[in-house]
């Protein structure tokens, strides 16, 4: 999608601090971090919200979690703990309509979330 900021990051036309990528997924540091580690894992393919995920995307979504696991290890937060979050639609706080898995850690994460 030409007007999607995360598609532009995936295409390399907007810069990002990339920490992990393979053929299908990309991970980069959040511009406005909410924790000492705050990384976004995205599929390179455009999917607007979790409501738009189909059965054909199952392996791709699995790859996002495998990337999150590797990133947590690389960031040194795998054992202390981290949170993975995907916000769906505005009521949940989604502002960029290309799915992204937030990987947050490096501080105590509270529950319930806001
Ligand atoms: P959402 O609110 O949709 O769950 O999360 C969107 C996230 O994307 C926010 O945490 C926001 O800081 C981040 N973000 C928005 N635009 C950019 C950008 O251009 N580059 C990076 N690295 N992060 C962005
Ligand atoms: Zn997109």
For domain 5-105, give its CATH number from 3.30.428.10, 3.40.50.620, 3.40.50.300, 1.10.1060.10: 3.30.428.10
Q: Evaluate: CB of 96 within 6 angstroms of ligand 1.
A: yes
Alpha helix positions (H), 55-98: 58-75
Residue 48 in contact with residue 99, Cβ under 8 Å? yes
Burial class (CB in 10 A: 0-12, 13-18, 19+), 104: buried
Burial class (CB in 10 A: 0-12, 13-18, 19+), 11: exposed
Give, for ligand 1, the residue of 27, 32, 85 to mutate: max count of ligand atoms closer than 8 Å to Cβ. Answer: 32
pTM: 0.98
What atom of ligand 1 comes closest to residue 32's alpha carbon?
12
Domain range annotation of the chain:
5-105
Q: In a structure prediction context, what are the per-residue pLDDT tens digits for the chain, which is 114 residues long?
A: 779 999 999 999 999 999 999 999 999 999 999 999 999 999 999 999 999 999 999 999 999 999 999 999 999 999 999 999 999 999 999 999 999 999 999 999 999 998
């Amino acid at each position: 999608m030409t007007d999607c900021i995360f598609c532009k990051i995936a295409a390399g036309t907007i810069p990002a601090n990339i920490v992990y990528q393979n053929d299908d997924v990309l991970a980069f540091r959040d511009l406005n971090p909410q924790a000492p580690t705050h990384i976004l894992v995205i599929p390179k393919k455009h999917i607007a919200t979790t409501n738009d995920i189909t059965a054909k995307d199952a392996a791709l979504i699995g790859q996002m979690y495998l990337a999150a696991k590797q990133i947590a290890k690389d960031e040194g937060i795998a054992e202390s703990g981290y949170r993975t979050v995907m916000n769906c639609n505005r009521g949940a706080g989604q502002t960029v309509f290309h799915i992204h898995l937030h990987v947050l850690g490096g501080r105590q994460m509270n529950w319930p979330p806001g």
